[in-house]
Amino acid sequence: MSIAGTSKDEGLTAKQAWGLVGLLAVAVLLWLFLAVWPDELVAAVGPKKVFVNAVFNGVTVAGLYFLVASGFTLVFGLMRNVNLAHGSLYLLGAYIGYSAANWTGYWLLGIAAGMLSMAVAGVLLQYFVFRKLEGDDLRQTLVTIGISIVAADLMLAIWGGNTYQFIIPDWLEGAVATPIITAVKSSGETVYMNYPFYRLMVFVAAVVIGVALWLLLNKTKIGMMIRAGVDDRAMLSASGVNVQLIFTAVFAIGAGLAGFAGVVGGSVLSVAPGEDVRYLLASLVVVIVGGMGSVSGAAIGALLVGLAEQIGLVYFPTYGVVLTFVIMVVVLAIRPQGLMGAAR
Amino acid sequence: MMEIESKLGGTNMSLQRKAIMALTLATAFVAPTLAMAEGTIKIGTLATLEGPFTVLGQDGMRGVELAIKEHNGMAGGMKIEIVKGSTDASPDSAVKAARKLVEQDGVQLVVGPLSGDEGLAVKDYAKTKPNITFVNGTSGAQDLTLRDPAANYFRFNTDGAQWMAGLGDYAYNVKGYKKVATVAEDYSFPYSQVFGFMAGFCKAGGHVPSKSWVPIGNKDFSSVIAALPDDVDAIYVALGGADASNFLSQYQQAGGKAHLIGGTITVDQTVLGSEGKSKDVVIGTPSAGPVADNNDSPAWAKFAADYKAAFKDGFPAPSLFAHGYYVNTKALLLALDQVKGDVSGDQSKLRDALSKLSFDTPTGKVSLDKNRNAIADIYLSEVAKGADGKLYNKVVKTIPQVNETLGQDEAAFLKLGVANKDNPDCK
Amino acid sequence: MSITDVPAGPNAFDRFFQQLGTGQILLAVALVLYPFLVSPFFAFQIGGQILILGMIALSLMMLAGYGGMVSLAQLTLAGIASYSVAIFGTNSVGLMGFGWPWWIVVPFSILIAALVAVLIGLISVRTSGIYTIMITLAIGTAFFYFATQNHSLFNGFAGYRGIDAPTVFGVYWRDPIPFYYLCLAVAVVAYGLVLYCARSSFGLALQATRDNPRRMRAIGYNVTAVKVFAYFLSGLIAGTAGVLYAWFNGRISPGTISVGEIIGVLVIAVIGGLRHPIGPFLGALVYVLMKTFAIDLIGAERFNTLIGLVFLVIVFISPDGILGLWEKLKPHLAPTSLRSS
């Protein structure tokens, strides 16, 4: 061994070590998914079908949470506005989408209606309300709380306390076979897992929109201005950009996404009073964990929250629901800027 | 924005002056409205008119109004005045609303509340107001009357466990389900429903290998559905309202194959009436409860017709909430007739009349046991599709005059213990 | 007495009475006479509720106004004290209920709440502004869900019933008039404590920490200790209010500390104003009156809209709540020449 080689024998660097761990984790996950589980594993953890289903559900509901939270994080990141009425936008979009879909009979029209109406609502909110409260964070937050209280009650007045189920088009209905084996029957026949097609589509939609958002933020001029505004709003204004227009556009996008998520989520999880609080809390956790203002952070946060929720529901039903908030508290205490957020 | 006022003297004085003005304004509300017109009896109602259960509370109020309308707004020669109290299904709000009705609005009688835990809280409050008579709305908690009852609390509707009478036996012997898994929410009303079902099912010889308790407010049941054992014959689902709708549609989306058995509010009109594809998976599901949509008795037909005529914005058929509040209010009015409207003093005459009351309701005869709990008929039904394409509950059997201990010996029944997550058990 | 002796000036007690204006005396008299002027319902249900909720909002105001930390976990602290009273005292659910005497249960519950407040403070001390709001909201929500799901300690959704106030010196303290005076006395003490703290060296340090933590650190203050101690004090106040709340309701359940109620405490504090300790009580007055009588004014169904609109209007017009409104109105009310300051 030559002298030049000895310095490398100090072992792995931290980055290499993490990389190996990551590879190992991926390998284990792949095996868990694709292989037939041995009996000891089934006895310890439960049937494979349950585990795979929980993970799939976690990932697909993460898609939904990402859709809702991405708008929230953009609005906060850029305008430092914690819009606690974001859940109300979700629910209102769902209700309007439902009424539209019900009236015309087309679910896709419902989606369009939900999205567009909420985008308009976002523009109105930004123009009439938040523009006047510029710079006063606490007051903005309080105003959004007040708006959410009033909105929730008015929605209850208009649409009542009934639960509404969307009628999704036939081509989205039903379950599809996945290439994941859940069991091998005594006859040697392998049983493949079925999974609802609609949920897979929700995930696909979330990925598509996530990619579109990334492209918007990173490859367009507007995106560049938004990112600049997130970093330093004063500079953005000083460089001559019409900041109010950007703010309004971002709020419209964020609110529109919430409305879109309302219809999409409402189709699988129904529309009822109380959903606004639920999705607001979920968005808060996702955005805190992922980092305010970061779309990729929202994706990671959504994955974490979605998986924690579903796995908790199956394996720790009693306290699973507390888990999401414990995650949030831990992240806030240790790394307040979130996993992908910039240090403040 | 957060500067603290450090000036002494002048500023503080003005603040206190403002506080005095506010206090004086408050004092303007001084006297409770005890003054009422001659010959009026004030009845306070407790129903969930806020929050997600609003639609149920509204139907309950329809039941109250229907009963009073039938009596022409009078009872015992006195005019009936309703004072509405609103709760949001939390026990705290029920007690606050009850307090306001009794202490501020000066009602002499109270009808309500709607949900199980609210009922337990109101029962405790009733014990502190021995001169006011409380009649239940639709609160279905067993322990409202089974354990530590209040002498001034009357329940003319059956409790959550009674509602399941006969279903367990029917599932085992008639439908042939030997192994059943349960899915229910994690609080007291579903506990009593599962208790009532299992009391009959286990006694008949059935087995319940798995019980899933879902946190309240959870909307996503797909993981729970996937975790259900594959080798059960049926799944007993004791969810209500939005949760039931979600479960059914997610079950259908996941391609679930096992049969379903419904709790009382799992396949009631609020769920069957909501749009969606969940309809197909639900047809043929047996359930049990105090009402059945297509009860072909003339009394029910008249009740349903009156309900539809009086309330254009109501459900296609009266729900068990409308029915429960209706029966309880009617009992109160009948008793008032008997004592000629005497609600003075400790209302002992009225209480006496209520204890001995037995009358015909749209769902058969009702009378009270020694704990002032109802003995009434229970309907076993199966979901069917009507001629108009709408789903409804078709009566298959009537279990007559079910009492609080489900026909079993009282001591043995009490020994089964309080209904909770682990009790009863028959793996 | 030598020439160098300075004549003794008024001590703190004398100064306090010098500052008392007629307005304050009138208020004190009105508060004391209040239960005799109104019905028992108003004394107990309205008066007691205002004082208790006002105290919880006071603990929030102290942290937010003086410390710049808007903590939404104050109601949770009160709830913990209430649960402690149920668990260590007596209750009628058949769970826990160790039956300790009230003079052990009360201080013990308050202490537990204060210790949990320290814990929350330690967790939240690294956050500021909006993040403090969110972490305390998350803690409050997590505790709510935990209490709903846990049956061995918290008895789940049903909670504890049958919590009773003690009979001390022959007085049953849950009777309307004694209870009102008990709440009044405790509220006055809490109010005085907060007012005193604001002007004490601790209070000044806290406010300085709010304004510029870096400078405080530079001159040697342990900023974390100052903030955590503030949480401890707020926990004492909220915990005391929690004990009273348990006696007031006779019960404690997750519904008392739900997200809606947590927001309600924030609404109270903001409506009243975060600048002076009287603010929370003013806010509680408006909130309780509206909540109790909205059903008579506009029907039970829409009172949430009413409260939300009032809240919105106040936040829009006057960021400092009723106190801020008063400040704005004052110059128009008194003739210039007669104003004392």
The helix/strand/coil state of C308 is helix
**Both tokens assigned to B78:** 């006195």
Confidence of residue A6 (pLDDT cuts 50, 70, 90): very low
Query: Is the pLDDT confidence value at B184 over 50?
Result: yes
What are the two backbone dihedrals, phi and then psi, of residue C67, each rounded to the nearest 5 degrees? -110, -10
Which residues contact residue A39 at a Cβ distance below 8 angstroms, ignoring those fewer than 6 apart? none
Res C104: pLDDT: 92
Res B294: pLDDT: 73
B210 vs B22, more confident: B210
Strands A190-196 and B78-86: unpaired
What whole-number distance in Å separates Cα of residue B140 and Cα of residue B194?
A: 13
In terms of domains, do B265 and B403 share one?
yes
Query: Is the pLDDT confidence value at A231 over 90?
Result: no
Residue from the list A137, A152, A329 with its beta carbon closest to the beta carbon of C123:
A329
Res B14: pLDDT: 47
CB C87 within 8 A of CB C100: no
In terms of domains, do B152 and B176 share one?
no
Question: Residue C48: its chain B contacts at CB < 8 A?
Answer: none
In terms of domains, do B199 and B313 share one?
no
What whole-number distance in Å separates Cα of residue B80 and Cα of residue B57?
A: 20
B165 vs A136, more confident: B165
Interface test with A, best of C141, C214, C259, C317 (most A CBs within 10 A): C141
Res A99: pLDDT: 92
Name the residue range of residue B214's domain. 162-289+386-415
Q: How far is CA A167 from the centre of its chain?
A: 23
Domain layout of chain C by residue ranges: 38-258
pLDDT tens-digit readout, B224-280: 888 888 788 899 999 877 788 888 878 877 777 788 999 888 887 767 766 556 577
In terms of domains, do B285 and B390 share one?
yes
Res A186: pLDDT: 65
Q: How far is CA A128 from the centre of its chain?
A: 28
CB B147 within 8 A of CB B162: no
Confidence of residue B333 (pLDDT cuts 50, 70, 90): very high
Res A153: pLDDT: 87
Confidence of residue B7 (pLDDT cuts 50, 70, 90): very low
The helix/strand/coil state of C270 is helix
HEC per residue, chain A: CCHHHHHHHHCCCHHHHHHHHHHHHHHHHHHHHHCCCCHHHHHHHCCHHHHHHHHHHHHHHHHHHHHHHHHHHHHHHHHCCCCCCHHHHHHHHHHHHHHHHHHHCCHHHHHHHHHHHHHHHHHHHHHHHHHHHCCCHHHHHHHHHHHHHHHHHHHHHHHCCCCECCCCCHHHCCEEEEEEEEEECCCCCEEEEEEEHHHHHHHHHHHHHHHHHHHHHHHCHHHHHHHHHHHCHHHHHHCCCCHHHHHHHHHHHHHHHHHHHHHHHHHHHCECCCHHHHHHHHHHHHHHHHCCCCHHHHHHHHHHHHHHHHHHHHHCCCCHHHHHHHHHHHHHHHCCCCCCCCCC
Q: Which of A141-150, A265-274, C104-113 has the highest mean pLDDT?
A: C104-113
The residue of chain C with its CA nearest to that of A154 is C305
Tell me which of A155-159, A272-276, B217-221, B378-382 is least confident: B217-221
Of how many residues is chain B composed?
427
For residue A224, which amino acid is it? M
- Say if residue C335 is exposed, middle or buried (CB neighbours under 10 Å; 0-12, 13-18, 19+): exposed
Q: CATH number of the domain that B208 lies in?
A: 3.40.50.2300
In terms of domains, do B177 and B144 share one?
no
b/e for B41-70, b at 16 or more Cβ within 10 A?
A: bbbbbbbbbbbbbbbbbbbbbbbbbbbbee
A-to-C residue pairs, Cβ atoms closer than 8 angstroms:
103
Residue from the list A284, A322, A328 with its beta carbon closest to the beta carbon of C145:
A322
A182 vs C250, more confident: C250
What whole-number distance in Å separates Cα of residue B30 and Cα of residue A295?
A: 57
CB B346 within 8 A of CB B82: no
Res A21: pLDDT: 86
- Provide the phi-psi class of B133: left if phi over 0, else alpha when psi is between -120 and 50, else beta: beta
Shortest Cα distance, chain B CAs vs residue A341, angstroms: 28
What whole-number distance in Å separates Cα of residue C338 and Cα of residue A213?
A: 63
pLDDT tens-digit readout, A108-126: 899 999 999 999 999 998 8
What whole-number distance in Å separates Cα of residue A263 and Cα of residue A94?
A: 5
Q: Is B422 on the interface with A (CB under 8 A)?
A: no
HEC per residue, B168-226: HHHHHHHCCCCEEEEEEECCHHHHHHHHHHHHHHHHHCCECCCEEEECCCCCCCHHHHH
Q: What's chain A's average pLDDT? A: 83
Confidence of residue A328 (pLDDT cuts 50, 70, 90): confident
Shortest Cα distance, chain B CAs vs residue A55, angstroms: 9
pLDDT tens-digit readout, B125-172: 999 899 999 999 999 888 889 888 999 999 999 998 899 988 999 999
CB B87 within 8 A of CB B60: no
b/e for A210-237, b at 16 or more Cβ within 10 A?
A: beebeeebeeeeeeebbebbbeebeebe
Query: What are the Cα distances from residue A152, in Å, to A160, A232, A329?
Result: 11, 34, 27
% of chain A exceeding 70 in pLDDT: 93
What whole-number distance in Å separates Cα of residue B146 and Cα of residue B371?
A: 7
What whole-number distance in Å separates Cα of residue B60 and Cα of residue B113?
A: 9
The upper half-sphere exposure of residue C125, i.e. CA atoms within 13 Å in the direction of its Cβ, equals 19
Region A139-164 average pLDDT: 86
Query: Is the pLDDT confidence value at B347 over 80?
Result: yes
Tell me which of A81-90, A225-234, B167-176, C88-97 is least confident: A225-234
Q: Do C70 and A137 make contact, defined as CB atoms within 8 angstroms?
A: no
CA proximity to B381, closest of B234, B309, B282: B282
Question: Residue B121: its chain C contacts at CB < 8 A?
Answer: 161, 251
Query: Is the pLDDT confidence value at B359 over 60?
Result: yes
What are the two backbone dihedrals, phi and then psi, of residue B377, each rounded to the nearest 5 degrees? -80, 150
For residue B303, which amino acid is it? F
What whole-number distance in Å separates Cα of residue C65 and Cα of residue C198?
A: 10
Question: Residue C276: its chain B contacts at CB < 8 A?
Answer: 4-5, 15
Res B10: pLDDT: 38
CB A292 within 8 A of CB A81: no
The helix/strand/coil state of B384 is strand
Q: Do A284 and C315 make contact, defined as CB atoms within 8 angstroms?
A: no
Res C163: pLDDT: 86
In terms of domains, do B225 and B364 share one?
no
Q: Is A343 on the interface with C (CB under 8 A)?
A: no
For residue A151, which amino acid is it? A
Question: Residue A320: its chain B contacts at CB < 8 A?
Answer: 215
Residue from the list A152, A328, A336 with its beta carbon closest to the beta carbon of C126:
A336
Which residues contact residue A154 at a Cβ distance below 8 angstroms, ignoring those fewer than 6 apart? C305
Of how many residues is chain C composed?
341
Q: Do A313 and B224 make contact, defined as CB atoms within 8 angstroms?
A: yes
Query: Is the pLDDT confidence value at B24 over 50?
Result: no
CB A164 within 8 A of CB A272: yes
Question: Residue B224: its chain A contacts at CB < 8 A?
Answer: 313-314, 317
Q: Is A59 on the interface with B (CB under 8 A)?
A: no
pLDDT tens-digit readout, C223-277: 899 999 999 999 999 999 999 999 998 889 998 999 889 988 998 998 888 888 8
At CA C47, angle to CA C43 and CA C48, rounded to 5?
Answer: 100
Query: Is the pLDDT confidence value at B373 over 90?
Result: yes
pTM passes above 0.90: no
Query: Is the pLDDT confidence value at B35 over 60?
Result: no
Res C95: pLDDT: 80
CA proximity to C91, closest of B419, B151, B124, B117: B124
What whole-number distance in Å separates Cα of residue B92 and Cα of residue C187?
A: 23
**Both tokens assigned to A179:** 């290439």
Q: Do B51 and A313 make contact, defined as CB atoms within 8 angstroms?
A: no
Res B5: pLDDT: 37
Q: Is C3 on the interface with A (CB under 8 A)?
A: no
What whole-number distance in Å separates Cα of residue C109 and Cα of residue C247?
A: 13
pLDDT in tens, chain C (341 residues): 556 655 555 565 565 666 666 777 888 888 888 888 888 878 888 889 999 999 999 999 999 988 888 999 999 999 999 999 999 988 888 788 888 888 899 999 999 999 999 999 998 888 877 788 888 988 898 899 899 888 888 988 888 988 888 888 877 888 888 899 999 999 999 999 999 988 898 889 999 988 888 898 899 888 899 999 999 999 999 999 999 999 998 889 998 999 889 988 998 998 888 888 899 999 999 888 888 877 777 765 677 788 788 888 888 887 777 777 777 777 776 665 555 54
Q: Do A157 and C305 make contact, defined as CB atoms within 8 angstroms?
A: yes
Q: How far is CA A306 from the centre of its chain?
A: 8
What whole-number distance in Å separates Cα of residue C61 and Cα of residue A36?
A: 59
Query: What are the Cα distances from residue B348, in Å, to B131, B135, B352?
Result: 8, 14, 6
| Chain A adjacent subunits, 3+ CB pairs under 8 A | B, C
Torsion sign across C-alpha atoms B325, B327, B331, B333: positive
Region A198-207 average pLDDT: 90
A-to-B residue pairs, Cβ atoms closer than 8 angstroms:
122
What are the two backbone dihedrals, phi and then psi, of residue C231, each rounded to the nearest 5 degrees? -60, -40
Shortest Cα distance, chain C CAs vs residue B172, angstroms: 31
CB A258 within 8 A of CB A93: yes
Query: What are the Cα distances from residue A300, in Å, to A287, B56, B285, C337?
Result: 9, 40, 42, 65
Res C14: pLDDT: 61
Q: Do C276 and B421 make contact, defined as CB atoms within 8 angstroms?
A: no
Res A282: pLDDT: 86
Which residues contact residue A134 at a Cβ distance below 8 angstroms, ignoring those fewer than 6 apart? none
**Both tokens assigned to B418:** 């309080």
The residue of chain A with its CA nearest to that of B216 is A321
Question: Residue B213: its chain C contacts at CB < 8 A?
Answer: none
Q: Which residues pair with B381 in a beta bridge?
A: B287, B395
Domain layout of chain A by residue ranges: 48-274
